[in-house]
């Protein structure tokens, strides 16, 4: 399939495919836009039912990275890589190094890091042969989840100010779905700030630990979206706000780290009509890419516009950006998500 035949193509600047039969490697790098800087995006390693699904995934995710980077104010464009196949079966040192050589051929236009099926330890192996990889435990910022959690925490303040007319977290009730790398850290930040927490996770042990550590109330995974709270914070999976869950939701705002929380654009409109404030996921969860920017700026051959502002200031930018999006959305009577997409397209000149 030729990339521009995909419904996800959207004028991608470049799409590269790579096959290394001896290592069993088949990979795609999609570069959506370099208008604001060299493209960045994680590497996803997974099986796809059809090769065209892998291509669609790479194109869709790289476009999303363009929007995320633009709204995060980082001097980066959008890209994404996928390695096709079952990582449990295929992944080994030879394959990872072959992938590193592929990245070298794509050159400085694209730089990558961890994602589903592709860990920090894998980044380390690729790093042995390629400079175009970040998030390694030895050389770089390490686990991006701590920046993501911090960014969500700052973003939640914008939600509280706009939706609740309060500026601190004291006594606000958050229902948190998923206590993994991001959700757990976020619980810690909210607990310290005096918030009230209701939590869930598929792993009951983690939920029990959260109850002891943060005084959180635990609910079953299938009840979290029904919890009567102030803000629902999805930090587990995408698509959690859908036709089956929306009628049971009893919060005034939804804002969390999970990617693609809304099952469809129409769901966003339904939230708006029900006066439930929604923080677009690709804006509030940009902390990871903001945290990686320093390391990205050190890659040879990269020209960044000037020195970067201190990291914490840049993470706080998520707060300001959300305030701007909520105000514009309200003024134009559109959803925050549609408003954010419109702003991102303006920023990258599309
Ligand atoms: P993680 O894999 O460390 O944690 C996810 C947690 O959710 C796990 O503890 C899992 O048991 C739990 N979970 C899964 N399904 C569940 C369900 N149905 N109900 C309750 N709990 C469930 O993932 P991480 O890194 O914390 O990321 C969370 C979300 O945020 C993901 O959607 C991820 O794509 C997104 N995200 C993460 C970033 C990062 O820096 N880690 C950056 C941007 C987005």
Q: Which stretches in the chain have pLDDT values below 50?
A: none
3-state secondary structure string across 207-230: HHHHHHHHCCEECCHHHHHHCECC
303 CB-near residues (< 8 Å, 6+ apart): none
Where does ligand 1 bind, in terms of residues with CB under 6 Å? 144-145, 148, 177-183, 200-203, 206, 221, 235-237, 257-259, 285, 288
Give the pLDDT of residue 302: 66
Give the pLDDT of residue 262: 95
Q: Quick check: is 68 catalytic?
A: no
Q: Among positive and negative, which fits the CA dihedral 135, 348, 285, 202?
A: negative
Q: How far apart are CA 213 and CA 270, in angstroms?
A: 36
Structure tokens belonging to residue 39: 């493209």
Distance 182 CA to ligand 1 centre (A): 7
Distance 82 CA to ligand 1 centre (A): 19
Which of 42, 182, 219, 261 gets mutated to test ligand 1 (max ligand atoms within 8 A of its CB)? 182
Give the pLDDT of residue 141: 58
Give the pLDDT of residue 305: 64
272 and 337 in contact (C-beta within 8 Å)? no
Q: How far apart are CA 218 and CA 224, in angstroms?
A: 9
Question: C-alpha dihedral over 235, 41, 6, 103, to 10 degrees?
Answer: -140
DSSP for residue 160: I
**Strand segments (E) across 75-163:** 77-84, 110-111
Which of 119, 178, 241 gets mutated to test ligand 1 (max ligand atoms within 8 A of its CB)? 178
Structure tokens belonging to residue 57: 């995934």
Structure tokens belonging to residue 106: 């794509």
Give the pLDDT of residue 267: 97
Residue 97 β-bridge partners:
none
Place of tokens 């500026």: 167
Q: What is the pTM for the complete model shown?
A: 0.93
173: left (phi over 0), alpha (psi -120 to 50) or beta: beta
Give the pLDDT of residue 136: 63
Between the two ends of the chain, the Cα-to-Cα distance in Å is 25
Q: How far apart are CA 135 and CA 62, in angstroms?
A: 18
Q: Which of 314, 201, 204 is nearest to 258 (CA)?
A: 201
């Amino acid at each position: 399939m030729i990339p521009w035949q995909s419904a996800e193509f959207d004028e991608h600047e470049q799409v590269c495919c790579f096959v290394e039969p001896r290592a069993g490697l088949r990979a795609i790098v999609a570069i959506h836009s370099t208008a604001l800087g060299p493209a960045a995006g994680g590497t996803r390693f997974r099986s796809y039912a059809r090769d065209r699904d892998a291509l669609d995934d790479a194109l869709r995710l790289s476009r999303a990275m363009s929007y995320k980077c633009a709204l995060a104010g980082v001097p980066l464009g959008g890209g994404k890589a996928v390695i096709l196949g079952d990582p449990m079966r295929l992944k080994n040192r030879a394959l990872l190094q072959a992938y590193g050589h592929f990245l070298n051929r794509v050159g400085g236009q694209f730089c990558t890091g961890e994602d589903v099926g592709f860990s920090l330890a894998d980044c380390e192996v690729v790093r042995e042969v390629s400079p175009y990889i970040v998030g390694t435990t030895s050389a770089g910022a390490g686990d991006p989840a701590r920046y993501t959690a911090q960014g969500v925490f700052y973003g939640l303040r914008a939600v509280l100010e706009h939706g609740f007319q309060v500026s601190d977290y004291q006594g606000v009730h958050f229902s948190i779905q998923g206590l993994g790398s991001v959700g757990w850290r976020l619980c810690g930040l909210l607990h310290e700030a005096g918030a009230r927490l209701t939590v869930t996770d598929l792993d009951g042990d983690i939920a029990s630990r959260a109850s002891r550590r943060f005084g959180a109330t635990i609910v079953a995974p299938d009840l979290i979206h029904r919890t009567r709270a102030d803000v629902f914070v999805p930090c587990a999976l995408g698509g959690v706000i859908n036709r089956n869950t929306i009628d049971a939701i009893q919060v005034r705002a939804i804002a969390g780290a999970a990617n693609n929380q809304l099952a469809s654009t129409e769901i966003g409109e339904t939230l708006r009509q029900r006066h439930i404030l929604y923080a677009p996921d690709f804006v509030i969860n940009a902390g990871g890419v903001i945290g990686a920017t320093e390391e990205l700026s050190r890659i040879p051959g990269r020209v960044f516009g000037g020195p970067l502002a201190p990291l914490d200031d840049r993470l706080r930018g998520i707060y300001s950006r959300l305030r701007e999006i909520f105000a514009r959305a309200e003024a134009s009577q559109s959803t925050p998500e549609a408003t954010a997409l419109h702003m991102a397209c303006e920023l990258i000149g599309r």
